[in-house]
Structure 1
Amino acid sequence: MKSKWLYLLVCCSLLGMLLAPGTYEKAEAAPPGISTNAVGASLVDVASGRVLYSVKGDTPMRIASLTKIMTAIIAIEEGNLDDMVTVSRNAAGKEGSSIYLKLGEKMRLHDMLYGLMLRSGNDAATAIAEHIGGSVDGFVYLMNEKAKMLGMDHSHFTNPSGLDEGEGHRSSPNDMAKLTAYALKNSVFQEIVSTKLKKVPNPNEAWDYSWLNKNKMLSLFEGADGVKTGYTKLAKRCLVSSATRGGQQLVVVTLNDGDDWADHGRLLQYGFTYFPLKTVVKKGDPIEGTNFVAGNTFMYPLAEGETEKLTFRTTLTDPLSTNYRLAERGTVQFSLGGKPIQSIPLYEKGSPLLEKPSQSSFSFQPSQPYKEKWYTQYGFAIRALIEHLFSISGSPWAD
């Protein structure tokens, strides 16, 4: 019996020596793991484009009506929102989700975009494509050119609606997140996708069109402000959502996810909780090691402990260059864990290019290592060890 107690005492003493308060310092706390029901998923910070979470992020998959994000942003950028779009026979007869446009009907492009994004009208997608591209094929060409411009290397579009037509229409979770982050920086796009209910004049009836947004995230998650639902029999449930809190906007993409509403809420909360947007440097802040100041404010989503991994490198501008004549005195390149993440210009203090420069100074001084209470971090481990000891030596409480 004494040997059992002695064995237990020695093990607990050793554990106590290893984990005694004040002996353990945690330099960083990595965000906990998280999973979804999606086949493919991506969580991205809009301002920086940083991918915060990804599963099969670069795998091309069917995206259903998420395609209409590309259709909308091209129409906004390339078209005149006040143009009247005429509905062709091809558009009026398009299968799938519809806003029930009639052959020959005319509708303002801006209004039709609401039908496209709120109700996922395939008839609207076709009418818009024919109006902007001259034909569906012409518009598809624009879609793929836009994808190349944005660096969507795992995407190929064959139609403006997302219907399962052919085998080549694909995109990846990371590509769709990249596209959405780009589109959300357009105020017209942002206004459309954040609208819960839109009424539009209806030339065919005595009442207006009334379109309720299919995106339930606008009501389910505080701060939600977009973006698009999607479904086909082959693609299954697809969803892109966005939300803004504290000046930070995040985008979530899930492809083939049977529980997407819940998963999006969890992923958005995960991003806001563990990757808050932090100010790395403010416009006008002096840059250590130079006589110059930052030309722009730089903010970046950083997990706990990542600040210590930030580094920067300055490069001075050639005095004979055009940039120097335009007041740029150099650049500062920021890196995280050795990977470049942002470059901003350097100006002389008092330069007219600086508007209301802040007075705070900038330097990357590591903060004190985070001290975590040993019993918080290891409480369950200690309990498990004790239970294991009891299981092999018998319970001392019963003897």
Structure 2
Amino acid sequence: MPFAAVFLSLSLLAVTSTAEAAASKSTKAKASATQTRKVKSVVLRKQAAPVARAVPTFGQVAGLHEADDPLSLKSSVAYVLDQNTNEVLFSKNPQAVLPIASITKLMTALVVVESGLPMDEKLTVTDEDKDTEKNTGSRLAFGTTLTRGEMLHLALMSSENRAAHALGRNYPGGLDAFVTAMNAKAVALGMTDTHYVEPTGLSSRNQSSAADLAKLVNVTSQVPILRELSTSREARVSLGKRLVQFRSTNGLLSNPLWDIGLQKTGFINEAGKCLVMQASMAGRKLIMVFLDSSGKASRIADAERMRKWLASQPGEQAATVSTKF
């Protein structure tokens, strides 16, 4: 075979081999890409978040929300008392014993104040103050040191759980002695439906009734420091090198239509949204209790409905609603 013909054959063979190799590589790359896409698709499906089921409150389980009331309240328990005359102006399931969440902190604060312990004493948040009940976080890192007065302020205004727990832990005799003092004070106030197991309200075993909580609000609203700290709208606290701003959990404090002397909010799943207040209206001092409210802003809406209803009453008309409990 002539040299030119041989050279041409070899050249064609090389080009063909190169083309086949390129085609093979392209096919493998496409297959690889297809496999990669399939794997990614599977991973994405695995990462889909499960649908969370709503946890019913104790009040919902007991059927308390089935009670109708003239205001169509979202709270299954509501109670309004004239502080001066002890006249009950509105009553809905007042004796139902339910978890009270951070309303607990009112008793925590009362026991701290009545202990006479120095408010300027430095207390440090430790890992003992970690929430092991609900595993919630806190802006108060372990090692944070504040005065007892500052801890009390944050517990009442911002419902800081670690602050409340640190207050109880630093009581003479420790946390057990503090909880014993809380229950002893409840007995002294005639709060027969009330029981505490810890100072924050994170436990659903901290329970009370609206009628009992009205007694607690009546007493705490007469303590100047508790009135001042619970109705404080915001505060800046030095946490190490940072100046951190804390705010109240009750938006009604900034509403000019309200004259609130003392307040506390609360929430855990078992308790629903809770709110207690002492407020002045039309020359009267009233105590209000709302427990087991369903909905994000429902307790505030219920308080507004109650304020408007009270303003519209032509005299000393009262409303009472109850269900079996």
User: Do both share a fold (TM > 0.5)?
Assistant: yes
TM-superposed CA distance for 1:62, in Å, is: 0.9
Q: Deviations over 1:96-117 (max 9, x none)?
A: 5555223333211111112101
The residue aligned with 2:267 is 231
Alignment of 1:254 with 2:290, yes or no, is yes
CA distance 1:119–1:33, shift in 2 (3 Å):
same
Identify the match of residue 304 of structure 2 among 265, 290, 303.
265
- Pick 1 or 2: higher relative contact order, CA cutoff 8 A, min separation 6: 2
The residue aligned with 1:134 is 173
Alignment of 1:116 with 2:155, yes or no, is yes
The residue aligned with 1:303 is 316
Alignment of 1:85 with 2:151, yes or no, is no
Distance in 1 (CA, whole Å) between partners of 2:83 and 2:94 is 16
Kept in 1: contact 2:131–2:137 (CA 8 A): no
- Match of 2:279, as an amino acid? A
Q: Deviations over 1:260-293 (max 9, x none)?
A: 1111112234345549xxxxxxxxxxxxxxxxxx
The residue aligned with 1:172 is 209
SS in 2 for 1:243: strand
Identify the match of residue 93 of structure 2 among 22, 43, 56.
56
Kept in 2: contact 1:97–1:120 (CA 8 A): no
Kept in 2: contact 1:221–1:265 (CA 8 A): no
Higher percent of residues as helix: 2
Distance in 1 (CA, whole Å) between partners of 2:196 and 2:156 is 18
TM-superposed CA distance for 1:251, in Å, is: 2.1
CA distance 1:51–1:83, shift in 2 (3 Å):
farther
Alignment of 1:43 with 2:80, yes or no, is yes
SS in 2 for 1:252: strand
Q: How many matched pairs?
A: 244
TM-superposed CA distance for 1:69, in Å, is: 1.1
User: What's the Cα RMSD here?
Assistant: 2.5
CA distance 1:103–1:212, shift in 2 (3 Å):
same
Distance in 1 (CA, whole Å) between partners of 2:122 and 2:177 is 19
SS in 2 for 1:201: strand
Identify the match of residue 186 of structure 2 among 147, 157, 161.
147
Distance in 2 (CA, whole Å) between partners of 1:70 and 1:272 is 30
TM-superposed CA distance for 1:71, in Å, is: 0.8
Identify the match of residue 247 of structure 2 among 208, 212, 216.
212
TM-superposed CA distance for 1:158, in Å, is: 0.8
SS in 2 for 1:40: strand
Distance in 1 (CA, whole Å) between partners of 2:114 and 2:251 is 27
Q: Deviations over 1:283-320 (max 9, x none)?
A: xxxxxxxxxxxxxxxxxxx7179xxxxxxxxxxxxxxx
Kept in 1: contact 2:217–2:277 (CA 8 A): no
Distance in 2 (CA, whole Å) between partners of 1:239 and 1:245 is 17
TM-superposed CA distance for 1:201, in Å, is: 2.6
The residue aligned with 1:69 is 106
Identify the match of residue 182 of structure 1 among 200, 203, 219.
219
Kept in 2: contact 1:224–1:241 (CA 8 A): no
Out of 145-154 and 33-42, give the one that drifted further.
Answer: 33-42
CA distance 1:178–1:97, shift in 2 (3 Å):
farther
Identify the match of residue 193 of structure 1 among 230, 249, 253.
230
Distance in 2 (CA, whole Å) between partners of 1:98 and 1:180 is 28
The residue aligned with 1:290 is none
- Match of 1:123, as an amino acid? R
The residue aligned with 2:164 is 125
Question: Normalising by structure 2, what TM-score?
Answer: 0.68
Kept in 2: contact 1:92–1:102 (CA 8 A): no
Kept in 2: contact 1:54–1:174 (CA 8 A): no
The residue aligned with 1:104 is 143
Max Rg structure? 2
SS in 2 for 1:195: coil
The residue aligned with 2:281 is 245
Distance in 2 (CA, whole Å) between partners of 1:80 and 1:271 is 41
Structure 1: where are the runs of 5+ without partners?
1-31, 276-301, 306-399
Kept in 2: contact 1:250–1:268 (CA 8 A): no
State the identity as a percent. 28
